[in-house]
A and B are shown apart, each in its own frame.
Chain A
Amino acid sequence: MELLINMSNSKHKQMKKTVFYAIGCIIAFVFLTASSTQAQTAKPWPVPDKYSNMKSTVKAGDATALTTGKELWAKQCKSCHGSKGLGDGPKAAMLKTSPGNFSAAAFQKQSDGAIYYKSFIGRDEMPNFEKKVTSEGDRWAIVAFIRTMGK
């Protein structure tokens, strides 16, 4: 009987220990992810020269391209970036990284090529979209539509 009590006591202790470790792990995880979020917002995003020097194939004021861009934006980008590019889409809250505000001057002062690189090559939580938007014309149409968000 004593042996049994001893056994159950040691089991109880072990369980307590496990729970303690589990809580410790969760707290550590929360802190780590929180700090990584802070680190990511400030993380620089260098654009290779090959991309930053790229020129858009869409002519200024091309209404057809803007319609195409808007349509593709609604399908591919809106769920995170929001309908106006403010980074307030329904999926944005689930991301660790802020999707950014595309109407801001700081965003709009980037070259077309830089926006192209960040939009279609991506990194981390921003997925690669080369296989979702396969045509070059469609990609530049999306860039052209993103340009309208600064106005």
Chain B
Amino acid sequence: MKRSILGFALILFCVGIVSAQDPEGEAKEKKPLSRAPFESGIFMDNMTVKTQPSNTLEFVLQHRFGTIQKDFEDLFGIWGATNIRIGVNYSMTDNLTVGFGTTKNSRYQDLSLRYTFFHQRDGGFPLTIGYYGDIALNATNKTNFGQDYTFINRLSYYHELMFARRFGRIFSMQVSCAFAHYNKVDSTKKNDALSFSAIARLKVSPQTSVVLSYEQPFYLGYDTPFILKYGQKGMYYNSTTSKLNLNLGVEISTSTHVFHIFFGAAQGIVPQDIVIYNKNNFFNGEIIIGFNMTRLWNF
């Protein structure tokens, strides 16, 4: 918990530095805004800097099938165990979005917040910088939390700082750094993890794009939980760590909808679940088919 607070403070500090260099007030700020690098705040298993215009309601459906390993036995996971999230996001201002969602696996109930600090401008500021954070409540039976159960054992947090750029008409990219914390985890897992991710979009027609994302988690703490004496404290990646996540898919966007259909590794949908609990190794063929759908209403 202490580490979580420290992590959060660090992110706020970074944000503070960036805010202090706010170019909003400068004369060069008059440059026109570039077109948004992404169509939606959701990008397969990742988040983006995109916030919708004020008073916009976004309805989100996210669906992940089982792994494709059983071939026709469960039709490449389509008949297998699935994970589903239904959520809504509402844009309070052009830069601030709040959201709520509910997920099938672990019965996560999540509240989220997304804020865009700066926008990329043509011939001006080169990046769009944004923050995404959420708090999720695991609503499964309390027997899942072991002995000494208290309510806060159910909570987990996620903070992500994102830097995106649209390179011309057809290519956009984003890199980000995230911190995830669970108040209570399984004995082989760690409470805290850092993750670095990169996502890219290449438009192939006005409405269709090829999309790619990569996310690498690292646990924070001692690398060997059972041999503390020899373990080294820090950031590490080993057999107990959540597996890296890779997504490859297609995005179709219309005036009010965005669709993603993709191959990926993680079956989790809530981002902290992917960072701390993803057990699927993409390169061992533990691949799942997933899709997202969003619908916008402007008020």
Contacts and interface: CB of A to CB of B under 8 A. Distances in A.
A135 B33 contact: yes
B169 A79 contact: no
Given A71-B206, A128-B298, A137-B32, A79 B53 contact: no
Contact of B206 (A70, A131, A132, A136): A70
A21 to B, nearest CB: 35
B32 A134 contact: no
B35 interface: yes
The A interface is mostly helix, strand or loop, or mixed, namely: helix
Interface in A47-75: 67-68, 70-72, 74-75
The B interface is mostly helix, strand or loop, or mixed, namely: loop
A76 B255 contact: yes
Contacts, number: 35
A79 B255 contact: yes
Nearest to B299: A131
Interface string B26-51: 00000011010000000000000000
Contacts of A131: 52-56, 298
Interface residues of A, number: 17
B32 A132 contact: no
Contacts of B55: 131
A138 interface: yes
B298 A132 contact: yes
A68 B53 contact: no
8 contacts: A71-B206, A72-B206, A74-B205, A74-B206, A75-B206, A75-B253, A131-B53, A134-B53
Interface of A: 67-68, 70-72, 74-76, 79, 128, 131-132, 134-138
